[in-house]
């Protein structure tokens, strides 16, 4: 039996075992398999392992998306997580190449994926509070928000959770050094039902530029954390 003779459910099941690149390659072989590739039911879950993957034309965004994960664990993540005032010209140039990539992608998610239930961002050093705010407004059914090592996230995101996270059940803000204990306590007060976790966050060194006497101490502590 030729693969195209399988019924639609079987073809969807077959595609579900493939990664995004393999799905795209198989879709190029005939019109029927392209239609399977374009079926929204195939794209309820998306996992990305670097910002570069977000620019590839090997996936679909749509209302069927329920679970989204962007986790970047490369050594290059450390460059993005260095405080802006400490970056040299090479590091700034590196960040400029992809600074808006994740934010722009999440804006597309806001516009096209209103039924999102879970979002995980790890190592996304350029994600902003404004982007998370818009996502909370645009995806009212969001139940799980996990942020790890997202250094630009501040108490503004925590405030957005208290205002627009009505469906939120789980919130992680691990290793997000620019949130404070005050912000965490406000979430606990306003959203007591949310399972809140903030590992190594409020006690980490924030991005405020210290005086000259503290610069060497801050730099040495930063190296230990990395």
Question: All domains of the chain, ordered by start, with CATH?
Answer: 1-42 (1.20.1280), 43-224 (3.80.10)
Could you read off the pLDDT of 20-70 as tens digits, one per residue?
A: 999 999 999 999 999 999 999 999 999 999 888 999 999 999 999 999 999
SS3 label, residue 153: coil
Could you read off the pLDDT of 125-173 as tens digits, one per residue?
A: 889 999 999 999 999 999 999 999 998 999 999 999 999 999 999 999 9
SS3 label, residue 104: helix
Given pLDDT bands bounded at 50, 70 and 90, which one contains residue 225? low
Give the phi and the psi of residue 56 in degrees, each rounded to 5: -80, 145
Give the C-alpha distances (Å, rounded to integers) separating 78 from 18, 87, 124, 199, 222.
Answer: 31, 11, 10, 18, 11
Predicted structure pTM score: 0.84
SS3 label, residue 97: coil
- 179 contacts 155 by C-beta, under 8 angstroms: yes
Could you read off the pLDDT of 164-183 as tens digits, one per residue?
A: 999 999 999 999 999 999 99
Given a cut of 90, whether residue 71 has pLDDT beyond it is yes
Alpha helices (runs of H) in the chain, residue ranges in sequence order:
8-16, 20-27, 31-37, 77-81, 89-96, 101-112, 129-138, 155-164, 181-190, 212-225
């Amino acid at each position: 039996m030729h693969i195209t003779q399988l019924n639609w459910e079987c073809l969807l099941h077959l595609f579900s075992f493939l990664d995004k690149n393999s799905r795209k390659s198989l879709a190029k072989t005939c019109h029927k398999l392209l239609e399977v590739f374009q079926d929204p039911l195939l794209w309820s879950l998306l996992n990305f392992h670097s910002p570069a993957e977000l620019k590839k034309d090997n996936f679909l965004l749509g209302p069927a998306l329920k679970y989204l994960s962007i986790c970047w664990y490369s050594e290059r993540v450390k460059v993005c997580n260095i405080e802006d005032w400490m970056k040299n010209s090479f590091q700034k140039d590196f960040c400029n190449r992809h600074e808006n990539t994740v934010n722009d992608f999440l804006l597309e998610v806001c516009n096209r994926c209103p039924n999102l239930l879970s979002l995980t961002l790890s190592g996304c050093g350029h994600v902003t509070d404004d982007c998370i705010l818009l996502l909370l407004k645009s995806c009212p059914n969001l139940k799980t928000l996990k942020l790890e090592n997202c250094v630009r996230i501040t108490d503004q995101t925590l405030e957005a959770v208290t205002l627009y996270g009505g469906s939120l059940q789980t919130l992680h803000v691990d290793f997000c050094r620019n949130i404070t204990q005050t912000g965490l306590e406000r979430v606990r007060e306003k959203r007591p039902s949310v399972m809140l976790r903030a590992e190594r966050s409020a006690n980490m060194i924030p991005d405020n530029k210290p005086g000259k006497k503290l610069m060497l101490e801050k730099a040495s502590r930063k190296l230990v954390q990395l």
